[in-house]
Amino acid sequence: MLDGITILDLSTVGPGSRCTWLLADLGADVVKIAAPPSAGRIDPPFHSYGAGRGTRRIEIDLKADKQAFLDLAATADAIVESYRPGVADRLGIGYEAVRAVNERIVYAAVTGYGQTGPSASWAGHDLNYLAVSGYLACQGNELPGATVADSAGGGMQAAISILAALLRRERTGEGAYLDVSTTNGVLYLMALQIDQYLATGEEAAPGTTLLTGRYACYDVYPCRDGKWVSVGAIEGQFFRNLCRTLECEQYAARQFDDDAQDEIRATLRAAFATKDRDDWVAELAPQDTCIAPILSVSEVPDRFAELVQEVTHPQHGSFRQLGPLVAR
């Protein structure tokens, strides 16, 4: 799909590396520009970011030899960097320096807070971007357990922007500079809650909206074996199906009655406690009830076995990992 597209990757971890990982899975030739070994640098685990599949690694000391990078940039299609604002320019490898040797370059600067604004120079990680976007507050300040900001907020937004810029370049011949803010990407994910506040003044918080636990029809429940199920029966027909199967049809018409939620939730909890998780899923999922098991990380690979592949690392040997998740 992206065969013949060369991307230089100056990132090490975070949204920039999520972006190039995705582009490599789409067929791009990703060249990882690695700095010389440093005692102060933290490298990602050997098994992360697809274990470098679809990428080549070149070591360049950018402080001493920027020309080596610019020589590569002269024939590249896109560059992804994740320095703080101004760092790439100080190194002599910023957009204008690269554009001087390659006018068609698509240059993506992927940062936590964007190139401008009061937070632009802040150091940060995934948790910080979720914090300032309202995401954490909506789920009661609980840690998310996944790099939502780096992956969906920054990495995917950067990849989409690069793909769009490459498409435009095919039509116009012009390159592009892309200022990708990971936090802005999370704001996109939070649009339902933010737009609700802007339009109505109602602020989403735990237990106050459909998506944050206000209603029993959209919640999680423990089962007899200590495992859990998720229920997302938002539409009336799905909730009616659930109530009918659980023999509590008296609540079907009170799905969004605030006065009935504690009673409905208690009834559902009591019902789910009578059988094991997988038994409930086997019974309810075919009945159009919007139910799914809450799987542990150790259960997921077997559930999605077709997406797991065997890889071999030169130092760490063979191990399994998630393979490309996008169609090519």
Which positions are annotated as active-site residues? 125, 150
3-state secondary structure (DSSP) of residue 111:
strand
State the chain's maximal CA–CA distance in angstroms. Answer: 74
Q: What angle do CA 312, 316, 322 make, to 5 degrees?
A: 50
Tokens of 280: 């409930």
First to last CA, the chain: 6
Parallel/antiparallel/unpaired status of strands 106-111 and 176-181: parallel
Rounded Cα distance between 153 and 111, Å, is 11
Tracing tokens 């995917």 back to the chain, one arrives at 156
Rounded Cα distance between 15 and 202, Å, is 31
Q: With the C-alpha atoms ordered 19, 21, 24, 30, is the resulting torsion angle positive or negative?
A: positive
Question: Residues near 31 by Cβ (< 8 Å), separated by ≥ 6?
Answer: 6, 7, 8, 9, 55, 56, 57, 58, 72, 76
